[in-house]
Structure 1
Amino acid sequence: MGKTTAPKKKPEKLTYKIVAIGDSLTEGVGDLDNQGYVGATTKKLKKEKRVKKVEIQDFGHQGDTSSDLLKKLKQPQVAHAIKQSNTIFLTIGGNDLVYVFRKNFLDLHQSDFSNQQKVFSDHLNQVFTKIRRLNPNTRIYYFGLYNPFEDYLGRANKDFIPILNRWNTKSESIISKYKPATFIQTSDLFKGNTDKLLYTDHFHPNKKGYAEMSARLMDAIKRNWHAH
């Protein structure tokens, strides 16, 4: 007779209290019908057997930079939502990067990017510190930046890619200090695919682009299920 094994415990059903914060990617610009990756991911989560309930509050706002986000975190309704949350979706940094292009368009130097990157990194640290003060345990998913300028930059792409990679590497190392937090890579998704995955404004993802981001996010979320 084999040993009697205890009946397997059914995994407990999960409730998600999600707060989405950041820029136009979190707002879903380029696919407002479906609210971008936030809407796509919420729909998928609701269909999962393991998931009992999904609540979502989306504070994403087009054009926001990291300094706008810091101000946003001071708003009582945002701070309250973060306190109540167990999951945070975050996109920020694209507008900080674009700012460098806009300001120095005809005379871009490596140093312009590295100066702005220092400012951004400092802000990102402040953002995560603030979130952790409000809620030490909420799980944060942060999307890295992609290059929407492939079609415009032509030859200059080879100079820009290392700059973008540096921003992402630095962000990833900052995020690792604020566990539980996950960095989600996007630059490889859009590389060579901007014609297929970007909206007609050549900057924001289209429905397909957001679907790719959502798929990555779902993978990351499910990996955390298996970790328990």
Structure 2
Amino acid sequence: MYKKVKWLTILAIAAASTCIFSIGFAYSLSITNSSVNESDIKNNSENSENKTEEVMNQLDANSYNVLVMGDSLAKGTGDENNEGFAGGFVKLWKAKTSKPLKLTNIAVNGDTSSGLLNVVHSEQTLKYIQNSSIIFISIGGNEIKNFKNVDISSVDSSLPESKESSSAPNDAKSVENQYLNNLESIFKLIRSKNQNCIIVFIGLYNPFGSDITPDKVELLNNWNYKTDELVSEDNNSVYVPTYDLFKYNTTSYLAPDNFHPNAAGYDAISKRIFEVLKNYKN
């Protein structure tokens, strides 16, 4: 009798152990499966993010991308409508393309050609350039305005060092040469990433009217002429003059700061750009 009870007890303990082992094994499987599922979810999430990035790239490729770079004029400073010439141009250009228009403005207030060259060197800017259909550039105004109160006709056109750039050359000619060298480098960088986009360069106007001497006007005109020459060396670039637009309209085209265009001034530039490009086949 005692032996019988002993064996029944042993069998009961064995059965209980088997049951506990089975439950533990099943639980361990559930944990393993749970870990795999979390990994799958993470991978799926990453794949989803990659697909989203691909879609965004496709959207960029399927859009008509307008990139604006340069100084405060490119940024649209002074425009009470916050559009600038680029915003006005896009409105006019909508009829020229069936693609959705996308405007990206990376202009910097107060920038010079040296600053713009640094901007163009950045990885993000080069990505913008790569997908652009049209690139607008406005630069040079902050460099040449430093000559307003300097007598460039005396002492070999000497110019005090600019406060805006500690490395600014000391004479008008060297400032111009540095500007042209920077501009040439900017064009080369753009073309290294995008051979097909059209580059539109906005020429300088005289915001000072008759307040500057004839030698300063001559300097401005020569600056524009040299810029036009350089831009024309690129077969798919165009120089858009603005000097004549503002010559007799400074009162109605300038913002209260008497330097940047107002909404009417930017609108005039937009229409001038559109007239220049209206026969351009995109």
TM bucket (normalised to shorter chain) is 0.7 to 0.9
Tell whether the 8 Å contact from 2:65 to 2:134 is kept in structure 1 after alignment: yes
Runs of 4+ in 1 over 4 A off after TM superposition: none
Tell whether the 8 Å contact from 2:204 to 2:242 is kept in structure 1 after alignment: yes
Structure with a larger share of its residues in strand: 1
* Equivalent in the alignment of 1:68: 115
| TM-score, normalised via structure 1 length | 0.84
Shift of 1:106: 4.8
For residue 87 of structure 2, the aligned residue among 22, 39, 58 is 39
Shift of 1:207: 0.5
For residue 205 of structure 2, the aligned residue among 141, 146, 161 is 146
Shift of 1:206: 0.5
Shift of 1:84: 0.9
Tell whether the 8 Å contact from 1:65 to 1:92 is kept in structure 2 after alignment: yes
- What SS does the aligned partner of 2:100 have? strand
Could you say if the C-alpha distance between residues 109 and 212 of structure 1 is closer, same or farther in structure 2, counting changes exceeding 3 Å?
A: same
* Equivalent in the alignment of 2:135: 88
| Letter matched to residue 184 of structure 2 | N
Structure with a larger share of its residues in helix: 2
* Equivalent in the alignment of 2:194: 135
Tell whether the 8 Å contact from 2:88 to 2:267 is kept in structure 1 after alignment: yes
* Equivalent in the alignment of 2:73: 25
* Equivalent in the alignment of 1:218: 274
For residue 185 of structure 1, the aligned residue among 225, 236, 241 is 241
C-alpha distance in structure 1 between counterparts of 2:267 and 2:145, whole Å: 23
Shift of 1:107: 3.7
For structure 2, the residue ranges without an aligned partner over 5 or more in a row are 1-61, 158-170
C-alpha distance in structure 2 between counterparts of 1:39 and 1:170, whole Å: 28
Tell whether the 8 Å contact from 1:23 to 1:91 is kept in structure 2 after alignment: yes
C-alpha distance in structure 2 between counterparts of 1:106 and 1:24, whole Å: 23
* Equivalent in the alignment of 2:176: 117
Larger radius of gyration: 2
Number of equivalences: 206
C-alpha distance in structure 2 between counterparts of 1:58 and 1:148, whole Å: 23
For residue 263 of structure 2, the aligned residue among 207, 213, 217 is 207
The structure whose RCO (Cα within 8 Å, separation 6+) is larger is: 1
| Letter matched to residue 177 of structure 1 | E
| Letter matched to residue 137 of structure 2 | L
